[in-house]
Amino acid sequence: MKDASFFPMERNRYFYGKLLTVRDFEAEQNYMGAKRRLLNRVVSGAGVVCGLGVARSDDTTLLINSGMALDYAGREIVVEELLVRRLEMIEGYETLQGAKDAYLCLRYDETPIEPVNAVGSDTGATSQCNMVREGYRLFFSTEAPEYRGLLEALGKENVKVLYAANGLTLVFYADAAACAGSEFAAGVLVVKGENAPPVRFTLEGESSVVESENGRICLVYSESPEEKRSVFQTVFHLKAQNLSDMVTPLFPNGAELTVEMGGHTYKNILDMETQLTLCADRVNYQALLDRRDDLAKHLGGRELPIYLARLELIEAADRIFLGSVTNLPFGQRLHRDFASQASDANHMEVTTSVEALEFWQKPDVRATYRQDSNALHLAFGIPSPEVYDYSTNHGTVDITMPGGIKVNHRYYSEEIPHGLGPGNVEVRLAVE
């Protein structure tokens, strides 16, 4: 249904002799549809449920897998089969001229079908459509997303755009509540051009609520030249002071932002309107989260699309070609195990590897943590068992006995040069 409202919740009351009109049947559909959409939005959330991966078929053609998503109004978006689309076949292609990148977006849509004769229509029309087909709208957008609304719909708090220029956007977010003496998360969403040079930024400011040696928060990120990512999040873990029952700005006197990219440096003092509530213990912390977890928090962002992919565009000879494709750049994916779904800020990816060492080396373990992706890698070194050569060699050695062999005499040799190598040797003697 194109009507994205959930309220009011009114249902038909049937009784014998009730006059049923179009309004009554529409009310019946609206009631059931609104209830279903409300459950989808509040219980499951919004994002891709399965499939809908985007890939290049060639320089001018996209492949979109079949799949399903829930939009921010709780409506189901179903793509029944694999789509093969040339760029010019997709809505919004004309806006790609001169753009270096674009987003492939997905929205719910519906189309009236099966026109029939209408007798006694209140609008005076002679025909009306008998059915409505639910579908989707696939389109390009060269506009930057509304980052604050997007991140808040994804559950982020204290969202603020730090920098947006020269093909680079930095968006800050941080937890709005923490338990005294415990860790809380802050992060920065980085959006930059595909071929942009590595970026380094520092966000620093005084703070009385975070444990540090000098009473300041200093968030530093430096991108490796080997990394080729255009949209990513870097997460920082801060520890709150052992204070309680207070609401305080995270950066009371603002913060200094320094951005370095491609030999250029940008510095600015920012007014950071971010607040942190410190709770005495876990009980009070959970109670605060429960109070803030109202319905309005779950129903935001109804106009947001699903950003299926970010596309790098190459323009040559008045034609547009595809570069790299980044799937779900903002992580709009629903996990199927909703009960155990963790927020992106707290989810850590742990990987392991095992290396065989020489038998004489000691066991070893090395841990590598990547702050930008919140990933931990454990590399184990395990000694190999000592290798023995169990192959059997044999040979014949002729021993010359000077003076001949006499009966009942003993003969002794300190060494028999068998030439078979190290190891146990079985010697059998014979007299010719």
For 224-305, strand residue ranges (E) read: 231-239, 246-249, 255-261, 264-270, 275-279
Three-class secondary structure assignment of 314-342 = EEECCEEEEEEEEECCCCCECCCCHHHCC
From 123, 35, 49, select the one nearest 337 (Cα to Cα).
49
CATH number 2.60.40 is the correct assignment for the domain at 147-298: yes
Q: Which H helix or E strand runs over 138?
A: strand 127-141
Q: Are 67 and 48 in contact (CB under 8 A)?
A: yes
| pLDDT in the model for residue 391 | 62
| Tokens (6 digits) for 312 | 């790098």
Q: Which are the contacts of 156, defined by CB distance < 8 A and separation ≥ 6?
A: 173, 187, 345
| pLDDT in the model for residue 219 | 92
d(CA 33, CA 227): 45
Rounded CA Rg of the chain: 35
d(CA 342, CA 373): 15
From 79, 78, 6, 67, select the one nearest 36 (Cα to Cα).
6
Chain center to CA of 85: 26
DSSP state of 96: G
Task: List the strands of the sheet with 216-222, edge to edge.
Answer: 216-222, 199-206, 255-261, 264-270
Q: Which residues pair with 54 in a beta bridge?
A: 64
d(CA 62, CA 280): 53
User: Domain 45-143+305-334 falls in which CATH fold?
Assistant: Triple-stranded beta-helix (2.60.520)
- For tokens 């639910």, the residue is 134
Chain center to CA of 97: 30
List the chain domain ranges: 45-143+305-334, 147-298
Q: Are 239 and 186 in contact (CB under 8 A)?
A: no
d(CA 162, CA 328): 22
Taking the chain (432 residues) in runs of 10, the rounded mean pLDDT of each run is: 75 93 90 92 93 93 95 94 94 91 95 87 79 94 93 92 91 92 91 87 91 88 84 90 86 92 89 90 88 87 92 88 92 69 58 81 85 74 73 71 70 72 74 69
